[in-house]
Chains A and B, each alone.
Chain A
Amino acid sequence: MSVIEVERVTKRYGEVVAVSDVSFELGPGVTGLLGPNGAGKTTLLKMMAGLLGPTSGRVSLFGQSLRRVPQLYRRMGYCPESERLYEYMTGGEFLVFSAQLQLLSDPENEARKALELVNLVPERDKKIRAYSRGMRQRLKVAQSLLHDPEVLLLDEPLKGADPTQRRILIDLIRALGQRGKTIVVSSHVLYEVERMASQIILIHRGRLLAFGDFRAIRESMDDRPHRVSLRVSDPKRLAALLTEKALVRGVSLSGDEIVADVSEPDVFYGQLPSVALEAGVRLTQLVSLDEDLESVFRYLVQ
């Protein structure tokens, strides 16, 4: 059984359609929820967290609706995008309070462990109002995982964090995913998602554009050429031969570099060594320029 099921979910605010007919099922691992600002990511995540009800369709966690069964929050942790917190509490008090509401047997101990996980122990007794943006982010993440939930929904958890804090959080999220937690991380910063998640949900203007492994998604987009950078001893000769054999749609030359637009990467990579031999050129570098998440994102959103 899937952990999170989203079935034909639509969310309208009057005439505005925030999310339109979106369906997917998620299991353990880290999934990146991607989309430009205003795409519907936060709305979708809030529906998964039970904070919003869909206008139509169904969202369930372990086969049940969070809005009907609040006990499911024992198995789910949610880190909101909002930076608002109980400003008059200290970070430690906030986590102890959260642990008490989760009815944990040793709230003090669980709060301490959560603070350690996000590297916030030195700030434990500081009032939240004195926390920096990055500290707030880490505190929100800490409160979402202090009861060791099976599911984590994190809305822009890296926003405002400095590079060191980002690394700490990315490593933590990746490690939790490897431990079998079902994690959904919303972000519009692609390289961060790429470092954490193997699977993506890509939404744009409320519609689901793609769902699955982003490398597989890229490979399935045959209508979009793959761009490959090659450094060779004689770029003009190799470029001419590649064009002649119709292995590329087009090439551009810059010094000793060729950037080739490739329609069928498997065929191209398979034949490239023999073509290079035939041309009598030495291949010194081969880099795929767009098998990263950003390319997938750019192509799909376009």
Chain B
Amino acid sequence: MMIPTALLRLALRQLFGWHRLGLLLFLCALSALPVVVVAVTLASAQFDPDLRQEFMSEEFRATFLKVLFDFFLSPLLYPAIALLLTATILREEIQNETIIYLWTKPLARGAIVISKYVVAVLGALVFCGLSFLIMGSILINDINFIGKLLLTVVLALLAYGAFFLALSTFFDRALLWGFAYVLGWEESFSRISSAASQLSIRHYAENLEATLLGLSTDVSLGASVAVLLGLAIVFVGVASWRFSRMEFASSQGE
């Protein structure tokens, strides 16, 4: 399946053009948030001798980074960034009815879906990855540790992005459904039900992170990677399948 570069450029412009300045600024603010948190924490440590002492230790800094990653970045911030980009890129084009100009071109509909997915996930990776790299390098010098967490981010974003894209082919309010999944299913329900937790992207991302860091887990490294990549492939497939069966029935009169 060939994906014309014009499609990729269109997706890029749709997401990051000047007309989306508001969203861009919001994403910048979101991704800068952890960096600001780290900077403020380090600055405040200068006024607290005990805290300053603790921050002198590389181990404490690594633990601080991991806690931030485990309780804020990985479960909330990064899925939210992925959601804002992947759930809107295709849905917006359907709602704006500009999708007609893609559907009436000699293109496989799967190519349209993949072009949107690639650009949106790359966008999410740039926002999340850059933010994490800056934050990580402020805190620690262990590039190996940062790299392992970054790999977790990449694979999790691939799966989240595909899932949210697939949602957007089913629901007008994909953003709402996406937030419901992240906050309702992953953040609440999965926490109280181990069976439910196995049906979440977060479960495999957490296990991947743990195995990469050499901690004990109930899912092997290979299985975590395979599940996250598999979910990405399956959900992009579902999105393509759904998109290829979509009809254009606008509200316009006859």
A52 and B103 CA atoms in complex are apart in Å by 11
Instruction: From A38, A53, A81, A84, name the one whose CB has the most chain B CB atoms within 10 angstroms.
Output: A84
Return the chain B residue nearest A127 by Cβ: B19
A74 and B106 CA atoms in complex are apart in Å by 6
Q: For the complex, is B97 an interface residue (Cβ under 8 Å from A)? A: yes
User: How many A-B pairs fall under 8 Å by CB?
Assistant: 86
Q: For the complex, is A163 an interface residue (Cβ under 8 Å from B)? A: no
Q: Nearest Cβ distance between residue A95 and chain B, in whole angstroms?
A: 11
A88 and B106 CA atoms in complex are apart in Å by 23
Contact of A42 with B10 in the complex, beta carbons under 8 Å: no
B106 CB contacts on chain A under 8 angstroms: 70-74, 101-103
Contact of A46 with B248 in the complex, beta carbons under 8 Å: yes
Q: Nearest Cβ distance between residue B95 and chain A, in whole angstroms?
A: 9
A80 and B252 CA atoms in complex are apart in Å by 10
Partner of A51 from B18, B107, B247, B253 at Cβ < 8 Å: B247
Q: For the complex, is A49 an interface residue (Cβ under 8 Å from B)? A: yes
B19 CB contacts on chain A under 8 angstroms: 87-88
A97 CB contacts on chain B under 8 angstroms: 6, 9-10
A29 and B18 CA atoms in complex are apart in Å by 44
Count residues of chain A with CB under 8 A from any CB of chain B.
Answer: 39
A49 and B103 CA atoms in complex are apart in Å by 10
A88 and B10 CA atoms in complex are apart in Å by 11
Contact of B253 with A86 in the complex, beta carbons under 8 Å: no
Return the chain A residue nearest B247 by Cβ: A52
Q: For the complex, is A235 an interface residue (Cβ under 8 Å from B)? A: no
Contacting B at CB under 8 A, from A138-156, are 143
B249 CB contacts on chain A under 8 angstroms: 13, 43, 46, 52
Partner of B252 from A42, A72, A103 at Cβ < 8 Å: A42
B93-125 toward A: CB 8 Å interface, digit per residue (1/0)? Answer: 000111011111111110000000000000000
A39 and B21 CA atoms in complex are apart in Å by 42
Q: Nearest Cβ distance between residue B242 and chain A, in whole angstroms?
A: 14
Q: Nearest Cβ distance between residue A166 and chain B, in whole angstroms?
A: 20
Contact of B100 with A51 in the complex, beta carbons under 8 Å: yes
Return the chain A residue nearest B103 by Cβ: A51
Q: Nearest Cβ distance between residue A92 and chain B, in whole angstroms?
A: 14
Q: For the complex, is A76 an interface residue (Cβ under 8 Å from B)? A: yes
A49 and B102 CA atoms in complex are apart in Å by 12
Q: Nearest Cβ distance between residue A141 and chain B, in whole angstroms?
A: 13
Contacting B at CB under 8 A, from A32-66, are 35, 37-43, 46, 49-53
Contact of B254 with A70 in the complex, beta carbons under 8 Å: no
Q: For the complex, is B38 an interface residue (Cβ under 8 Å from A)? A: no
Contact of A76 with B254 in the complex, beta carbons under 8 Å: no
B248 CB contacts on chain A under 8 angstroms: 46, 51-52
Q: Nearest Cβ distance between residue B92 and chain A, in whole angstroms?
A: 11
5 inter-chain pairs at a CB distance below 8 angstroms, sorted by A residue, are: A50-B104, A51-B100, A84-B97, A84-B98, A98-B101
**3 smallest A-B Cβ distances: which pairs?**
A100-B6, A51-B248, A84-B97
